[in-house]
């Protein structure tokens, strides 16, 4: 049995290692070629993984061609604002649906679940028309207001808070604590894992958000990095392939750093994202 277990683990490690290599090869190639001066016009064929002529020209060209610093600032601010709003409101609504007692609670929660089942593309045109009537197009408001109702975050928060014993809330209530005190001082400190999960999900989603900013924001100075890089790759100034690789690397660096330093919490978030009974 022990030999069989060792063999199965070795097979699993081999398969995962091969999958890791397959995933990392394109990333390593893109980073390497972004520092190769010979990739300005053409990509070498057959591909190579070591720069033939090491140069930072591609990065200099990319930084001069697009205001990437502005895109970084815009994306960072929107990610920070939306993550704070969406996580807090998701936890508050999850607490209400889990421990609160109010009319039609079950029906309202089913409506939240229904929102999760409707693709964003179906809701995009009505939302666009709504924000147009409110004169909010070409501003950040359409990108922020939606964070007040994060259906998946509410669902996940409610599932986690269900596992917290009701006796804690009842004891605090008997001692005279109000709902906000119970939520902020008792419930939230016990919800560290689910809060970390929601934060990671939102940071990744907000940084990669593309379609909605493309639709509602037209001013390049207000645009996020995902749209800005796509506009650069589609523009006439992107005729050189090397700078396009450099731009792609610059856009991916923040998420690489997040995954590097928060990999333990990311693994925990994947495990926690399952439905808890």
Q: What is the pLDDT of residue 272?
A: 57
CATH number for the domain running over 62-272:
1.10.3720.10
Report d(CA 59, CA 62) in Å as an integer. Answer: 5
What are the sequence ranges of the domains in the chain?
A: 2-55, 62-272
Nearest to 248 by CA among 75, 26, 73, 37: 26
Tokens of 126: 């009505």
Q: What is the pLDDT of residue 32?
A: 85
User: Is residue 267 pLDDT above 70, yes or no?
Assistant: no
- Under the banding of pLDDT at 50, 70 and 90, the label for residue 237 is low
Report d(CA 277, CA 273) in Å as an integer. Answer: 12
CA angle 211/40/227 to nearest 5° reads 10
Q: What is the pLDDT of residue 277?
A: 38
Tens digits of residue pLDDT in 40-97: 666 667 777 788 778 888 888 888 888 888 998 999 999 999 999 999 999 999 999 9
Report d(CA 91, CA 187) in Å as an integer. Answer: 9
Average pLDDT over residues 103-130: 89
Nearest to 152 by CA among 116, 99, 196, 204: 116
Average pLDDT over residues 119-148: 91
Return phi, psi of residue 54, to 5°: -65, 130
User: Is residue 253 pLDDT above 70, yes or no?
Assistant: yes
- Is residue 232 within 8 A of residue 26, CB to CB? The reply is no
Tokens of 261: 């330093």
Tens digits of residue pLDDT in 9-34: 888 899 989 998 898 888 888 888 88
- Is residue 192 within 8 A of residue 132, CB to CB? The reply is no
User: Is residue 228 pLDDT above 80, yes or no?
Assistant: yes
What residues pair up with 54 in beta bridges, in sequence order?
Answer: 36
Tokens of 57: 């020209």
Percentage of the residues of the chain whose pLDDT score is greater than 70: 90
Query: pTM value?
Result: 0.81
Mean pLDDT of all residues in the chain? Answer: 84
- Is residue 132 within 8 A of residue 195, CB to CB? The reply is no
Q: How many CB atoms lie within 10 A of CB 114?
A: 10
Q: What is the pLDDT of residue 93?
A: 92
Tens digits of residue pLDDT in 171-206: 888 888 888 888 888 888 888 888 888 888 898 888
């Amino acid at each position: 049995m022990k030999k069989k277990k060792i063999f199965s683990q070795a097979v699993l490690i081999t398969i995962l290692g091969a999958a890791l290599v397959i995933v990392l090869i394109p990333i390593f190639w893109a980073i390497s070629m972004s520092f190769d001066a010979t990739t300005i016009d053409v990509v070498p064929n057959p591909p190579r993984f070591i720069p033939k002529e090491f140069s930072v020209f591609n990065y200099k060209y990319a930084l001069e061609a697009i205001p990437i610093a502005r895109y970084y600032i815009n994306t960072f601010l929107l990610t920070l604002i939306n993550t704070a709003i969406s996580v807090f409101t998701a936890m508050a609504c999850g607490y209400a649906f889990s421990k609160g007692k109010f009319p039609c609670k079950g029906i309202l929660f089913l409506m939240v679940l229904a929102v999760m089942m409707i693709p964003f593309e179906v809701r995009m045109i009505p939302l666009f028309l709504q924000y147009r009537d409110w004169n909010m197009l070409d501003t950040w408001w359409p990108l922020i207001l939606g964070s007040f109702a994060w259906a998946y975050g509410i669902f996940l928060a409610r599932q986690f808070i269900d596992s917290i014993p009701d006796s804690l809330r009842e004891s605090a209530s008997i001692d005279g604590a109000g709902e906000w005190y119970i939520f902020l001082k008792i419930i939230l400190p016990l919800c560290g894992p689910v809060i970390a999960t929601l934060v990671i999900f939102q940071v990744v989603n907000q940084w990669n958000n593309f379609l909605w900013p493309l639709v509602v924001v037209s001013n390049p100075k207000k645009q996020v990095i995902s749209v800005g890089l796509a506009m650069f790759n589609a523009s006439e100034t992107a005729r050189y392939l090397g700078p396009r690789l450099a731009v792609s690397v610059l856009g991916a660096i923040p998420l690489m750093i997040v995954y590097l330093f928060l990999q333990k919490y990311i693994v925990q978030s994947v495990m926690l994202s399952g439905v808890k009974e």
